[in-house]
């Protein structure tokens, strides 16, 4: 196929605030378990990002914890104190030196945090409701946050944003997806509060919207107008009760109104996945989401788009940008191959002998090669 076939993937894209991306491909945020124990970015991580930042127009980092009580992963880097700014700056510069915009994803894991990573060993959430685990059983029972703690965490998101700005990032992405704290406040499964932070759908939106407002306050105070603020969300939840498609559409309306954000990022394992409940519409979730956003904000779509053909078809759904996660683990030169008319040469299966060439940190490499079904692996 000729390069022309894929030219729409390579078009420049401009956000409403004027920030321009060199193409429509984004590196999706992926935890790599490779940071130093003190929360600084390791040399292995810098090499990993450098290797993957030459193609995509924008790179969204793995999530960083905004407070020590929200650390969600072994080997996660932090943005919870000013001492980490030089480390964050190294990462921002490494990404930007390759020609991509650098976006820091900011996060609190809530009830999903491993207790052994927390200063007091106690997970927290909107309510004292444990997570339902994918293989059955339940996670540890979290402690319900009190008013003062909620207010403090909101402020922590603002402080982490200021640190991202001082470190030279081009934007932040608020992590409201994958069952972490912001989603826990929005979900009727994890939020059974009866105060201003929970109860009705509207009250369950209070915490996520307060975080967005605080992040925007920090941006207004410390950043240039070109600084981006995005929000990642998961449509629906498998639990009952849980977030339905109807509630997802209400979340989209709340996030899309009032000039709060520069983009929305949908978290999906499979781009074309179908809704579970809460809608009579049988079309894929992504098409319903794009319709509901109705051009108010750019939408980033993601989910198992391994080949250039997959990505091109996804772009036709109406999303503005395509995020690649696992495809860029498997082939860091994905975008360059499309640009050089070599789309047919894109690797869509992980080469189990190629860790060094792919520049993937040891722990992540072990997880990729020993977790069945995470990525396609070359036989």
Give the integer Cα–Cα distance in Å for 14 and 274. Answer: 30
CA dihedral (19, 253, 61, 119) in degrees, to 10, reads: 140
- Spatial contact of 203 and 196, defined as CB atoms under 8 Å apart: yes
Written as one string, the DSSP assignment of 43-57 is HHHHHHHHHHTTT-S
CA 167 remoteness from chain centre: 19
Residue 55 has phi, psi (to 5 degrees) of -105, -55
Q: Which residue out of 180, 231, 263, 306 is catalytically annotated? A: 180
Radius of gyration, alpha carbons of the chain? 20
Give the integer Cα–Cα distance in Å for 185 and 101. Answer: 30
| Token pair in block for residue 68 | 């020590």
Residue 176 has phi, psi (to 5 degrees) of -110, 20
Q: Is 306 a catalytic residue?
A: no
Sign of CA dihedral 132, 137, 138, 140: negative
* Catalytic residue ranges: 180
């Amino acid at each position: 196929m000729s390069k022309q076939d894929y030219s729409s993937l390579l078009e420049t894209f401009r956000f409403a605030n004027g920030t321009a991306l060199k193409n429509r491909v984004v590196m999706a945020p992926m935890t790599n378990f490779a940071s130093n124990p003190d929360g600084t970015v390791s040399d292995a991580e810098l090499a990993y990002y450098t290797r993957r930042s030459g193609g995509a127009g924008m790179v969204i980092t793995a999530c960083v914890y905004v407070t020590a009580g929200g650390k969600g992963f072994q080997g996660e880097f932090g943005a919870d104190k000013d001492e980490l700014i030089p480390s964050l700056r190294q990462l921002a510069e490494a990404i930007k030196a390759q020609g991509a915009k650098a976006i820091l994803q900011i996060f609190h894991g809530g009830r999903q945090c491993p207790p052994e990573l927390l200063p007091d060993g106690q997970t927290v959430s909107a309510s004292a409701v444990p997570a339902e685990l994918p293989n059955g059983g339940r996670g540890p029972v979290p402690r319900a946050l009190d008013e003062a703690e909620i207010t403090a965490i909101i402020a922590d998101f603002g402080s982490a944003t200021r640190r991202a700005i001082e470190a030279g990032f081009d934007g932040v992405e608020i992590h409201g997806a994958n069952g972490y704290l912001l989603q826990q406040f929005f979900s009727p499964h994890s939020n059974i509060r009866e105060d201003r932070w929970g109860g009705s759908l509207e009250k369950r939106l209070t915490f996520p919207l307060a975080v967005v407002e605080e992040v925007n306050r920090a941006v207004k105070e410390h950043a240039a107008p070109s600084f981006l603020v995005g929000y990642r969300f998961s449509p629906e939840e498998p639990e009952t009760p849980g977030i339905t498609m109807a509630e997802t559409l209400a979340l989209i309306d709340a996030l899309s109104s009032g000039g709060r954000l520069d983009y929305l990022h949908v978290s999906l394992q499979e781009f074309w996945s179908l809704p579970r409940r809460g809608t009579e519409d049988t079309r894929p979730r992504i098409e319903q989401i794009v319709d509901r956003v109705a051009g108010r904000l750019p939408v980033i779509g993601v989910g198992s788009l391994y080949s250039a053909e997959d990505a091109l078809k996804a772009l036709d759904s109406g999303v503005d940008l395509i995020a690649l996660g696992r495809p860029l683990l498997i082939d860091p030169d994905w975008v360059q191959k499309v640009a050089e008319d070599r789309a047919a040469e894109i690797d869509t299966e992980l080469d189990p002998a190629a860790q060094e060439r792919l520049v993937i940190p040891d722990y992540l490499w072990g997880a990729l090669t020993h977790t069945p079904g995470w990525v396609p692996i070359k036989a």
